[in-house]
Amino acid sequence: MNTLTALAIKFIASFIALFVILGLFYGMSIQSVILITAVIGVISYIIGDKLLLPRTNNVVATSVDFGLSFLIIWSIVSYGNIDNYRALFWASIIGGLGIAFCEYFFHIYLFRRFYPQEQISKRRISAMHYATEASEEITPVKKRQKTKTNR
């Protein structure tokens, strides 16, 4: 039941973002927006939310979701509209950014709801713990022994 709730939240947020961007600004039909939202929702939930998010952090998962949504929007929209590549490119970029914005907050919801026991250091890629050594000597130089030749 939690997975269906998460998918419903993801679908509604993505649909609103894509309908505003692709439907209102670029004049795309509501059926195309629903198709794009469903494809992006299922693929990014499997790859970004189930595989990457528990192993990485929010920024990495959101970046992957941006790339996936850019490619999916580009491929679905270019199938029917080959004439205007510049508008297609900007629609894909802005649509991907809209999806990434929604995904950022959706990932926060998923962290709180599904992964509360995970430690922060397990989720972060750049969590490097440097160890340092300390000693009592100021300058660690060996004392020379006096020999007959050094006199």
Buried b (16+ CB within 10 A) or exposed e, 19-47: bebbbeebebeeebbeebbebbbeebbee
pLDDT confidence of residue 31: 93
Q: Find the distance separating the first CA and the last CA of the chain, reported in whole Å.
A: 88
pLDDT one-digit tens code per residue, 47-104: 988 888 888 888 999 999 999 999 999 988 887 666 778 888 898 999 999 999 999 9
Provide the domain count of the chain: 1
What pTM was estimated for this model as a whole? 0.71
Show the domain range for 82: 2-121
Q: Which helix (H) or strand (E) holds 116?
A: none
Is 24 within the bounds of a domain?
yes
Largest pairwise CA distance in the chain: 97
Is 94 within the bounds of a domain?
yes
Q: Which two tokens stand for residue 48?
A: 């970004």
pLDDT confidence of residue 121: 46
Number of H helices, E strands in the chain: 5, 0
Q: Which two tokens stand for residue 5?
A: 């709730």
Is 75 within the bounds of a domain?
yes
pLDDT at 119 over 90: no
User: Regarding predicted confidence, which is higher, 63 or 125?
Assistant: 63
Q: What is the 3-state secondary structure (H, E, C) of 48-61?
A: HHHHHCCCCCHHHH
pLDDT at 133 over 80: no
- State the pLDDT confidence band at 113, using cuts at 50, 70 and 90: confident
pLDDT one-digit tens code per residue, 27-49: 888 999 999 999 999 999 999 88
